[in-house]
């Protein structure tokens, strides 16, 4: 793997809109090189017989079947509302939106 140069780090800093000094360029070049080398070792460890995973432990969704159950009639619900209009709940206007 090729080491990062000061120009590479300066280019990355420019893309990220970061103002860095010359001393920081030298420091960051060394630090980023160590980070990239460490990440590259992960590819060495990965084996072809190990499937890729997104979690360390298997996840299972627990769901229930959709089943119709008793429910209230819309008129009953609207009768209990503080305000209703046109078969809907009436709520205060927000953000000066038109009615």
**For the chain, domain boundaries:** 6-45
DSSP 85: E
Cα–Cα distance, 93 to 82 (Å, whole number): 15
Overall fold of domain 6-45: Histone, subunit A (1.10.20)
Asked whether residue 88 carries a pLDDT value surpassing 90, the answer given is: yes
What residues contact 28, with CB distance under 8 A and at least 6 apart?
9, 13, 20
Asked whether residue 46 carries a pLDDT value surpassing 70, the answer given is: no
pTM flag (> 0.75)? no
Asked whether residue 16 carries a pLDDT value surpassing 70, the answer given is: yes
Cα–Cα distance, 63 to 30 (Å, whole number): 50
> Which residue did the predictor score with more confidence, 1 or 84?
84
């Amino acid at each position: 793997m090729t080491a990062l140069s000061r120009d590479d780090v300066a280019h990355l800093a420019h893309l990220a809109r970061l103002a860095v000094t010359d001393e920081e360029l030298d420091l960051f070049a060394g630090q980023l090189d160590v980070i990239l080398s460490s990440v590259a070792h992960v590819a060495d460890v990965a084996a072809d017989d190990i499937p890729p995973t997104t979690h360390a432990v298997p996840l299972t969704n627990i769901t229930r079947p959709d089943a119709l159950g008793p429910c209230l009639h819309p008129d009953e619900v609207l009768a209990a509302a503080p305000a209703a209009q046109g078969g809907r709940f009436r709520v205060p206007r927000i953000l000066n939106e038109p009615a």
